[in-house]
Amino acid sequence: MTFILPKKTRVLWQLRIAVAFIFVCVIIFAIVPLNLWALLLVWFIAAFGLFVVFFYVPVFIKNYKIMIYNDCLCIYKGVFIKSLIVLPCVRLVIVKRLVTPITSLFKLHLVLLKVARGWIFIPELDSNVSERLLSIIQGEIYE
C-alpha cells in the first residue's frame, strides 16, 4: 500500500517558504543600509528562495512516498540526498496527528511519528488519507 502527498501540500509549502524568504529580505532592507552589498545579498537570498520554491519543494513532494509492507512502514524521500526509512510498526512509540488553522483550510493533517532517537515528520496529507494511514498503523500495532 502506497501513499503520496497531494498537490495542496506542495502549494502550502511553496507559500510558506515564499513568505519566509520575503520576510527575510524585508528584514535585511530594514536593518542594513542600502548599498551594493545589501542589494547583492538580497538578490542572492531571493534567487535561493526562488530555487527552493520552484524546484526543491515540487521535487521533494513528488518524490515523497509512504509505503506499508507487512508490519513495516517505509518512507522514501529526498531530492539530492535520497533516503529510505524502514520502521517496524511495533517500534513506533507515539503516532500524532496535528492540525493548524491554515492546514485545516486546505483539509490537510500533519503526522508525527516518535521512534527511537527522535521524531519523523510526514508532511501534510489529506485528512481522510491520514486517518486511513493511522488506522492501518494502529491495526499493525495491535494485531
Residues that bind another protein in the complex, under the rule CB under 8 A: 67, 69-70, 72, 74, 76, 78, 80-88, 91, 115-117
State how far the Cα of 135 lies from the Cα of 95, in Å rounded to an integer: 11
Residue 111 has phi, psi (to 5 degrees) of -110, 135
Closer to another protein at the Cβ: 28 or 136?
136
Shortest distance, position 94 Cβ to another protein, whole Å: 13
Least separation in angstroms between CB 80 and another protein: 6
Q: How far apart are CA 83 and CA 97, in angstroms?
A: 23
Q: Which helix (H) or strand (E) holds 124?
A: strand 118-126
- Nearer of residues 92 and 125 to another protein, judged by Cβ: 92
